[in-house]
């Protein structure tokens, strides 16, 4: 038992000490402990939140949600711009891009936007809190919780060890998609008068699936070619993105294709 504990301690020390020295001093990066606590608190809220809302009227939160969603539109658009422009100025390759661990202006600029992307995933956990407060429990699916909870770990590891390189492609695509996703949410919260302008909801899911497909191809390509970017990260990204493709396709099928099929049968 002692050797197991010593091995775990050695591994934890390795996790702490082998990160990117540029990003280690930044908020929530050096140790996984804060992210683990955030993850645990999130799961407790998911488990107990609906019970706490029993017997209470749902909160409307219209003004709060409008500000929140518009703020995330702005943040997502900013991150997309930073990923795109920084990668273009630095001459990044879309086929194979190692991490620039230097303290150069563009290297630090890319590392900073990677941190903002990670931190945006922490902010987005509020999506679930707002669903609970509004008693929209049907929105808190396995897909929703799985995606939100795992992204904070994925991007903590990204910022801790590979802030840049191949990872820029994921952050850039996801920021692009989230710009439109949170714009949709901002419009939806304005009330029934906006419903006629929200016909494109299903296309958001298709956009997300397209994004996942592009990321799967991107990371998969680098698993079968010689690229100086850690294979472990590419393998983890590839495996994770396949789970998202399966879950999001199932959501799309159940929500749109099956529903249309049932209407035709009626």
> Phi/psi of residue 18, each to 5°?
-110, 20
CB 115 within 8 A of CB 86: no
As given in the structure block, the two tokens for residue 266 are 């009626």
Instruction: Identify which of 247, 37, 25, 11 has the alpha carbon closest to the alpha carbon of residue 152.
Output: 37
How far, in Å, CA of 75 to CA of 120, rounded?
8
d(CA 105, CA 84) in angstroms, rounded, equals 15
Is 144 among the catalytic positions? no
How many other CB atoms are there within 10 angstroms of residue 167's CB atom?
27
The whole-angstrom separation of Cα 106 and Cα 98 is 14
DSSP per-residue string spanning 55-81: TSPPP--HHHHHHHHHHHHHHHHHHHH
Give SS3 for 38.
Answer: helix
DSSP letter for 229, please: S
Token pair in block for residue 38: 């955030």
Q: Which of 144, 147, 178, 218 is catalytic?
A: 147
Q: Residues with catalytic annotation?
A: 147
């Amino acid at each position: 038992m002692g050797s197991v504990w010593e091995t775990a301690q050695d591994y934890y020390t390795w996790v702490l000490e082998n990160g990117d020295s540029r990003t280690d001093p930044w908020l929530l990066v050096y140790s996984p402990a804060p992210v683990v606590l955030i993850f645990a608190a999130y799961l407790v809220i998911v488990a107990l939140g609906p019970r706490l809302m029993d017997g209470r009227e749902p909160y409307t939160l219209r003004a709060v949600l409008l500000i929140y969603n518009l703020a995330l539109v702005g943040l997502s658009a900013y991150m997309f711009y930073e990923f795109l422009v920084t990668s273009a100025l630095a001459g990044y390759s879309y086929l194979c891009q190692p991490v620039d661990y230097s303290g150069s202006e563009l290297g630090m600029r890319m590392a900073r936007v990677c941190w903002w992307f990670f931190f945006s995933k922490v902010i987005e956990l509020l999506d679930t809190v707002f669903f609970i407060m509004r008693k929209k429990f049907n929105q808190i699916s396995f897909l929703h919780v799985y995606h939100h909870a795992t992204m904070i770990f994925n991007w903590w590891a990204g910022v801790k060890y590979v802030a840049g390189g191949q990872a820029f492609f994921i952050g850039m695509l996801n920021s692009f998609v989230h710009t439109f996703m949170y714009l949709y949410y901002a419009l939806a919260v304005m009330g029934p008068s906006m419903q006629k302008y929200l016909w494109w909801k299903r296309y958001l899911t298709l956009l997300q699936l397209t994004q996942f497909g592009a990321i799967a191809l991107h990371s998969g390509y680098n698993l079968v070619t010689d690229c100086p970017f850690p294979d472990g990260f590419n393998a983890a990204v590839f495996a994770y993105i396949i789970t998202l493709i399966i879950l999001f396709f199932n959501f799309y099928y159940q929500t749109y294709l099956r529903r249309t099929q049932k209407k035709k049968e009626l």
